[in-house]
């Protein structure tokens, strides 16, 4: 874990080489205007000549500041999350922050460990996409350290914090209503983890759309599963064993929808013709899938941008009021429903 290096050139050496004091050299590296142009040039030359590299770690230690931000996510390979990260990165790097990234692989223990590590690394703030089982205690350590935090993607009950997420309920409502408007009365809801806030909110919208139309949900048509293609495949096979199968399917996300379509084909159905399908997320593949998937667009990149912006606000403003930002989704109608 340790790795001593060849000695770095220090600011002191630069100062000596340039014939000024260390304090002056320090002011030069930080572009302080009260240094004369002449001195500045001399020092800059010495820096170049000696191959000086600024030691941000030492500087941050002394000035008790930080220009790193910790970001903890559950799974990079999830397309929603990786797009989210793009948004976070472009916003944070733009203003000179460096990102410490940790992946919890959906393990609470790993998440706890990463939180500790980030605090030990003196991050200026933190963006957290929490694992499902996260509780208030997990997160309170941050408040104790007085480290600004933004929660993203998944909301945590009982945790007071800035939050950026999608209006899953509304998205789910739109998707379900679209299917009802097409005349469907038996609409399955497949995939997703029943205990997660993201599932519960979708269930809410699905329920509400039914209520509005005076329709009753057949609980046999609601099957949870991991939010993956494999999960969707299993869920649809289970629901098809039903004596009275659904005529349309609302899927937890697009990956689940792909699995569902695969399962339908295996069972001899023609997705989009025999059975209508709606997904959620609008991942790039949904557009080129066969048939193109009707889905709810959920703006992962913008979610990342907003999360980063909220954090930057906290970082620059101590009297920052707690904010909750919910991005509105959009229904993208294609051929699958």
Kindly identify the residues of this chain, within the stretch 230-259, that bind its own copies according to CB under 8 A: 258-259
C-alpha 222/C-alpha 216 separation (Å) is 12
Closest approach of Cβ 140 to DNA, in Å? 20
Residue 193 interacts with its own copies (CB under 8 A)?
no
Burial class (CB in 10 A: 0-12, 13-18, 19+), 317: exposed
Residue 30 interacts with DNA (CB under 7 A)?
yes
Residue 148 interacts with its own copies (CB under 8 A)?
yes
The span of 33-41, 101-109, 258-266, 308-316 binding DNA (CB under 7 A) equals 33-41
284 binds, among DNA, its own copies, none (CB under 5 to 8 A by kind): its own copies
Q: Which of residues 54-113 bind its own copies (CB under 8 A)?
A: 54-58, 60-61, 63-68, 75-77, 79, 82-83, 85-86, 89-90, 93, 95-103, 105, 110
Of the pair 7, 241, the CB lying nearest DNA is at 7
1 binds, among DNA, its own copies, none (CB under 5 to 8 A by kind): its own copies
Residue 118 interacts with DNA (CB under 7 A)?
no
User: What CA dihedral angle connects 266, 270, 272 and 275, to 10 degrees?
Assistant: -80
C-alpha 71/C-alpha 153 separation (Å) is 13
Closest approach of Cβ 335 to its own copies, in Å? 12
DSSP codes, 264-331 = HHHTT--BTTTBEEE-SB--HHHHHSSSPPBEEE--HHHHHHHHHHHHHHHHH-TTPPP-EEEE--EE
Burial class (CB in 10 A: 0-12, 13-18, 19+), 104: buried
Residue 3 interacts with DNA (CB under 7 A)?
no
The span of 22-30, 151-159, 173-181, 198-206 binding DNA (CB under 7 A) equals 22-30
Of the pair 19, 284, the CB lying nearest DNA is at 19
Closest approach of Cβ 59 to its own copies, in Å? 9
Residue 27 interacts with DNA (CB under 7 A)?
yes
CB 159, CB 151: distance < 8 Å: yes
Residue 36 interacts with DNA (CB under 7 A)?
yes
> 147-162 b/e with 16+ CB inside 10 Å = b?
bbbbbbbbbbeebebb
Return the closest-CA partner of residue 99 out of 70, 66, 141: 70
Residue 145 interacts with DNA (CB under 7 A)?
no
Return the closest-CA partner of residue 41 out of 62, 23, 61, 18: 18
Which residues of this chain interact with DNA, rule CB under 7 A?
7-8, 10-12, 19-24, 26-27, 29-30, 34-36, 38-39, 52-55, 58-59, 61-64
């Amino acid at each position: 874990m340790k790795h001593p290096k060849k000695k770095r050139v220090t600011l002191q050496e630069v100062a000596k080489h340039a014939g000024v004091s260390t304090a002056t050299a320090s002011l030069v590296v930080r572009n302080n205007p009260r240094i004369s142009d002449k001195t500045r040039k001399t020092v800059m030359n010495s820096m170049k000549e000696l191959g000086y590299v600024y030691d941000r770690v030492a500087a941050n230690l002394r000035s008790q500041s930080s220009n790193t931000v910790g970001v903890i996510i559950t799974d990079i390979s999830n397309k929603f999350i990786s797009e989210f990260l793009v948004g976070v990165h472009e916003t944070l790097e733009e203003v000179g922050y460096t990102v410490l990234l940790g992946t919890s692989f959906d393990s609470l223990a790993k998440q706890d460990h990463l939180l500790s590590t980030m605090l030990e690394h003196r991050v200026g703030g933190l963006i957290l996409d929490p694992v499902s089982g996260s509780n208030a205690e997990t997160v309170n350590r941050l408040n104790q350290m007085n480290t600004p935090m933004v929660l993203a993607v998944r909301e945590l009950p009982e945790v007071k914090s800035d939050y950026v997420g999608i209006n899953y309920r509304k998205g789910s409502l739109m998707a379900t209503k679209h299917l009802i408007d097409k005349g469907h009365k038996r609409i399955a809801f497949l995939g997703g983890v029943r205990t997660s806030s993201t599932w519960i909110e979708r269930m809410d919208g699905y329920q509400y759309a039914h209520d509005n139309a005076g329709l009753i949900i057949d609980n046999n048509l609601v099957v949870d599963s991991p939010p993956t293609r494999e999960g969707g495949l299993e869920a649809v096979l289970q629901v098809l064993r039903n004596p009275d199968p659904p005529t349309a399917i609302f899927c937890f996300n697009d990956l689940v929808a792909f699995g569902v379509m695969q399962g339908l084909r295996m069972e001899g159905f023609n997705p989009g013709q025999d059975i209508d399908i709606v997904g959620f997320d609008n991942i790039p593949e949904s557009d080129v899938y066969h048939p193109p998937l009707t889905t709810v667009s959920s703006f992962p990149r913008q979610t990342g941008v907003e999360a980063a912006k909220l954090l930057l606000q906290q970082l620059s403003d101590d009297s920052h009021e707690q904010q909750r930002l919910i991005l509105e989704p959009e229904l993208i109608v294609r051929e699958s429903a």
